[in-house]
Amino acid sequence: MAHEKIQKQLSEYLEYDLRQLIDKRVSAFKRQLEYIKTKNNSYLLKLYSNNWNDEMLKVVFVLNSFYQLVLGPLDSSARSSTLCGLGSDIPISYGSSIKFNASRSRKINKTVESFNNIIVKLEINSFVMGLNSANDIVFNLAKDLYEDE
């Protein structure tokens, strides 16, 4: 299955606990999808009639989970909007091994940009990456289709 392969790839270098968290989140989304399917959900039917299928939705669940649990938190620290230069000109040392500085922020920004490019190329609304239920994801993907009509 494509979504399982993608999940494995994205999780490959992560800590076991984090891999488990991603797995739990994706599994919950999949269970919710199965439930929605029993309800003749009009938004889901709209997606199916526009060439979406379950496997594609599951890929979106994997990308969403990776973003929410890994990239989102990392991206948080890489914004350097403060005038005082904390985290960029003035590095932050967090414990003995973690350092937040300009070089780290640059690398993270580049990584997040690459990920966002994937989302754009897949024609998924980036808002979907922040949602927390399969129901909301289905609704927002379908909403885009209605708006395109």
Partner 1 sequence: MKTSSNWLPEVEKMVTEFVDAHSLVYSKKQRELSASFEIGCFHALLDYYEQMQFDISVENLTKDGEFRYLTSPSGNPNNFSYVIASIGDRAYEIRQQLKIYSELDEYISFAPDLSVVKKNSPIEKVKDDDYAKGKRSFYRVSSKDVIAAHECKSLPPFPELMVSFIGMFVTAHSWHTDHTCGVTLNDTGLHLAPTMFVGGSAQAMHLKMISAIQKVHPLNIVVGMHQGNWDLYGPHKKLNRLDVSGDKEALALAEPIDDFLSFP
- State how far the Cα of 146 lies from the Cα of 149, in Å rounded to an integer: 5
Among 9, 24, 27, 35, contact with partner 1 (rule: CB under 8 A): 9
Among 129, 134, 137, 138, contact with partner 1 (rule: CB under 8 A): 129
Q: 122: which residues sit within 8 A by CB, 6+ positions away?
A: none
> Is residue 56 involved in binding partner 1 (CB under 8 A)?
yes
DSSP letter at 86?
A: B
Helix (H, G, I), strand (E, B) or coil at 18: helix
Give Cα 59 to chain centroid, integer Å.
10
> Is residue 111 involved in binding partner 1 (CB under 8 A)?
yes
Residues near partner 1 (CB under 8 A) are: 2, 5-6, 9-10, 12-15, 17-18, 50-53, 55-56, 59, 67-84, 86-87, 90-95, 98-100, 107-108, 110-111, 114-115, 118, 121-123, 126-127, 129-133, 136, 145
